Structures are given as C-alpha cells and as structure tokens.
Homo-oligomer: A and B are copies of this chain.
Amino acid sequence: MEAAGRYPIAIKIKGIGHSVPKKLVTSDELERKYKLEAGWCSRKLGISGRYWVTKESAAELCAQASAEAFQKADIDPGEIDLILNASNTFDRILPDQSIQIKDKLNLTDPQIGCISVNCGCLSALAALDLGGALIASGVAKQILIVASLISSPGFNEKNIQESAALGDGAAALILGAAKPQEDSCLYGARMETYSGAHGIKGFKGMKEHETLFSKDILFDDLTFEFDSQTMQQEGMKYNKNFVSRLFPVDKKCLQMIIPNQSTRIASDMMKLMFPSRKVFTVIDQYGNIGAAGHIMALYHAVENNLIKRGDLVLLHGMGAGLSIYGVLLKY
C-alpha cells in the first residue's frame, strides 16, 4: 500500500494490556530435560523463558489482555464498536476467533462488530493500519485490537530446538481518535510484499497442491523450515531505505524501534540500521509469541516509561512472503 500524503491520522493508543499462561517454562528447565547444552537457549535463541498453556484457551488469554487494556485506557468495554482480532492461532474453526473473544469478555452489545485480520506475524501492524483507516473514515470510533499465539499444544518434542523458541501469550490495545489538542497520531504506515520464498522453505511434511485441511496431512510431520541466513540477507536488501520510503523522517527523531519479536534475526537487523539502545524487544522473557509480540513490546515500553506521549515509535516487521510492514506512531 502506498499512501503517502494520507497520513498523519489522528488516532491514539488509549491503553495496552497483556496476558500469559500461568506456566512459566525456563530455558534452564528445557536444557536439563532435553539434554541441551547449558545456556543454549539464551545463547542461540536469546530466550531465557517462555509461557506455555496448560488449560488456557487463546480466547481466554485475549480476554484477559483486553480487560487490562480497558482498565489502562480507563474506558468501559462497552464503549468500543469493533474487535479486530490479529491472532495467529485460534481455538475453533467457527465461529471466528474475534467472536469467541467477545464472548469471553461478556460483551453483549450486538453493535460491537467482530472481524479478524491476518498477515502472519505482521497481523497486529495490519490491524493498526486498518484501524486507523476505520477511525479516519468514521466507520468505527473505538477499536479493541488483540493478538495472540498459542502454539505449544502442537509441539513436536522431536523438534525441541524449534519449540523452545516459541511462547504462548496475548496482548491488546484500545485505539481511538486523538482529540485536537493531543499530539498522538498514526504518522505513517507502509506495507511492501516481495514475491518468492526468500529463505522460507515452507512446511516439511506438506506436498505441493496439498490443502492444509486435507485429511492426508499428518500434523505431527509439519515442521516449519527456513534458512535464516538467506532470510537475513534478503531482508537487509529489501529493508534498505524502507524507513525513508515509509516516511521521510530523520531517523534520529525515532525514540524507539520495535521489531517483530519472532527471532533474533529481526532485532539484529534493526540494530544494524539503528542505535542498539533504541531497538526494544521482549523476546528474552516471552519467546516468539507471533503477532502478539509487537503489542507486548509496546506494553512493556509504556509500563517501564521508556516512551512517553508524543514520542515517535516505529513498529516494524518482516514476515513470510517476504513482507515488510512499518507503522510509525506518535505515541
């Protein structure tokens, strides 16, 4: 999407919340249990712990994160008119996960719409971008954006190196119009998609022309395969000057850069382009929580007073495709 000149859009993140399952799984535990070298998870993945569900559902975690976001925003849940669910995984095929979240929040007003938005790990950025358009056009007034990933129930113990990188969790925010005297806005947003695999080899165990819901697929055999070196190289190539294409803002004005919290590659890449101290991640304590990562990092940045109202924050992500999404917020 090319939309220079349409921004800024006067929106404001009014409150942010988060939720993780009760069970914390430390890297020490995993290394002992699976006979990995001590310190392997921290060194190789940059992760010291992650949370894995026991009985929690994605909708429950989303509802908890949303409840905290409502509280932080100091608004009544009934004051929203739309739930935009940007989760990577869902509890049931039907009804849509956004509706399951509404049910868990006990929101009975039928006028609160429920829609899901997806573009892999960049889904929360797409939800912010679409949310801005919905508010700017007047189609929605106040939106709950919520994202989650629950992948641990599908783990294959044979691939512990891969499973160890993943965490379960949810994060949510309330998006509304900024008042005329407020400085907050969506300063710009840009998505670029480059055809081709770019290091993503896809899923081992899935044949060409096989549909995901085919009965011939053995879920146990599905392993996501990618070549991290190729991904990083291609990513660097396409990311060059991405920020100036997004918005001609002096990089020095950026207070914080939040990359996707999927692998170390994403943050390492941003550290080559921006001062390390400005690149903020929470992967160490949560692992890769998919599309929930951006909002989770933003939550911690705000809670720890690392950013304040009016600061320019770049939410950036690279996803399978290869896609690049940048959302530039005046928080």
Tell me the A residues contacting B by CB distance below 8 Å.
1-3, 5-6, 9, 53, 55, 57-58, 81-82, 89-96, 98-99, 102-103, 106-108, 110-120, 126, 129-130, 132-134, 136-140, 150-151, 153-156, 189, 191-196, 200, 202-203, 206, 209-217, 219-220, 222, 224, 238, 319-323
Which residues of chain B have C-beta atoms less than 8 A from A132's C-beta?
Answer: 137, 139
> CB distance B90 to A212 under 8 Å?
yes
> CB distance B103 to A150 under 8 Å?
no
Which residues of chain B have C-beta atoms less than 8 A from A134's C-beta?
Answer: 130, 133, 137
Given contacts A99-B193, A153-B213, 20 further A-B contacts (CB under 8 A): A1-B112, A89-B211, A89-B212, A92-B206, A94-B320, A95-B200, A95-B322, A96-B119, A103-B196, A114-B119, A115-B117, A115-B118, A116-B118, A129-B139, A130-B139, A136-B138, A153-B210, A153-B211, A155-B215, A215-B220
A interface secondary structure, majority: loop
CB distance from A109 to the nearest CB of B (A): 9
Query: CB-nearest residue of chain B relative to A112?
Result: B193
19 contacts between A and B (CB under 8 A): A1-B112, A3-B139, A57-B209, A92-B202, A93-B203, A96-B120, A96-B321, A106-B195, A107-B195, A115-B130, A130-B130, A130-B139, A133-B137, A133-B139, A150-B211, A153-B210, A213-B219, A217-B219, A219-B219
Which residues of chain B have C-beta atoms less than 8 A from A224's C-beta?
Answer: 93-94
Which residues of chain B have C-beta atoms less than 8 A from A117's C-beta?
Answer: 115-118
